[in-house]
Amino acid sequence: MVPDSDPRLLADCRARLALDLLANTWNGVVLWALRDGPRRHGELRGHIGGVSAKVLTETVRRLEYNGLVTRTSGRYTLTPLGRSLLDPIERLGQWADQHGDEVLDAQQRADLSSRDIR
């Protein structure tokens, strides 16, 4: 272990596990879409928009595998574990609302800079 390194950020730590769960593009979106109650696959897809049936199926299966969602009678529901992620997801959304333009500006500058180098 590197001195002064934070053990919460090591490859096998629990914080990295949580970050991996939220790093997938659709995981947080699906969890957030289920916050108000159970939904069928088609309802979920219509509510979210922009996600293919295949990708949504892969996402809900991944969420089931991780204990965040259950499927009963064709309806997906948050588990208590899944519900516990809603507050962090909301805070990430607030951060994105506050800083999204800054990130997009930085990306645009980087794109322009990389074109100038070529």
| pLDDT (tens digit per residue) in 8-47 | 666 667 888 888 899 999 999 999 999 999 999 999 999 9
Percent of the chain scored above 90 by pLDDT?
Answer: 75
Asked if residues 30 and 63 have their Cβ atoms less than 8 Å apart, the reply is yes
Range of the domain at 83: 7-117
**How many other C-beta atoms lie within 10 A of the C-beta of residue 59?**
22
Within-domain flag for 2:
no
pTM of the predicted protein model: 0.82
Say which CATH number the domain at 24 has. Answer: 1.10.10.10
Give the amino acid at 94: Q
Quote the pLDDT of residue 5.
67
Within-domain flag for 70:
yes
Average pLDDT over residues 81-91: 97
Within-domain flag for 43:
yes
Within-domain flag for 21:
yes
**What is the number of structural domains in the chain?**
1
The residues, any chain, with a CB within 8 Å of residue 88's CB and separated by 6 or more, are 18, 22
Query: pLDDT-derived band of residue 114, with 50, 70 and 90 as boundaries?
Result: confident
Within-domain flag for 81:
yes
- CA dist 60 and 40 (Å) reads 11
What does pLDDT average to over the chain?
91
Within-domain flag for 16:
yes
Within-domain flag for 1:
no
Average pLDDT over residues 48-52: 96
Asked if residues 70 and 76 have their Cβ atoms less than 8 Å apart, the reply is yes
Q: Token pair of 80, please?
A: 């208590």
Within-domain flag for 25:
yes
Quote the pLDDT of residue 1.
47
- CA dist 34 and 63 (Å) reads 12
